Amino acid sequence: MKQLTLILILSLMTGQAFCAPKVIAQVGPTVAVSLYLKSIDEGVHNTQIILPKNKMASMNLVANTKALTPGPVKTKKIHAPLLAQPIYLIGDDDFSKRWLKKYVARLQAIHAVGFIVNARSHQTIKDLEKQFHLQLIPINGTAISHHFGLSHYPVLISQHRIEQ
């Protein structure tokens, strides 16, 4: 009887040790807390995330997003508290170039991260970076367009609003 009790206790303890964790709630995307803690520890209120110049930056990447085209965007309020920095979406078209020319100082002042969603070539991306003194990241913007309900660019997206 003592052996049976001991075997039962050991099997219960062993079973619990190998149980997988249970997900209670999944609340969406996460952001590294270090982005916030560093600025709090240093007393800085306007931080800028510096994107590393790595192998990806030297590749000849071209952006092509069929879900987004140049055009007007209505300003609307949003709630995106996990957006650590404002972002903007542009293309290499004339409309985006005029928009950049008008808002480049503001984009730099708020440390907005630039994504280019449509570009004919890697050279046009490099030309835009040189002309406007910005770092542009070529991406497929389909996921962003679906998430924020966008069909046109250029657009600036912050924690509280979408605007052109």
Give, in order, the Cα–Cα distances in Å from 48 to each of 73, 84, 85, 119. Answer: 26, 9, 8, 26
Report for 16-30, 52-66, 95-109: range of highest mean pLDDT:
95-109
Residue with tokens 């931080």: 47
Average pLDDT over residues 135-140: 91
Mean pLDDT of the chain: 79
Q: Which residues contact 38 (CB under 8 A, 6 or more apart)?
A: 44, 47
Q: What is the mean pLDDT of the segment spanning 37-47?
A: 51
pLDDT for the residue numbered 62: 74
List pLDDT tens digits, range 71-107. 999 999 998 888 889 999 999 999 999 999 999 999 9
- CA dist list (Å): 12 to 23, 67, 153: 22, 54, 59
Closest CA to 73 of 99, 101, 46: 99
pLDDT number for residue 64 = 86
Spell out the domains of the chain, with CATH numbers in brackets. 48-163 (3.40.30)
**104-119 pLDDT tens trace:** 999 999 999 999 999 9
CB-based contacts of 86, cutoff 8 Å, min separation 6? 110, 111, 112, 113, 156, 157, 158, 159
Q: Are 65 and 118 in contact (CB under 8 A)?
A: yes
In contact, 118 and 150? CB cutoff 8 Å: no
Query: For residue 58, what pLDDT is reported?
Result: 47
What is the predicted pLDDT for the residue at 63?
81
Sign (positive/negative) of CA torsion 70, 75, 80, 86?
positive
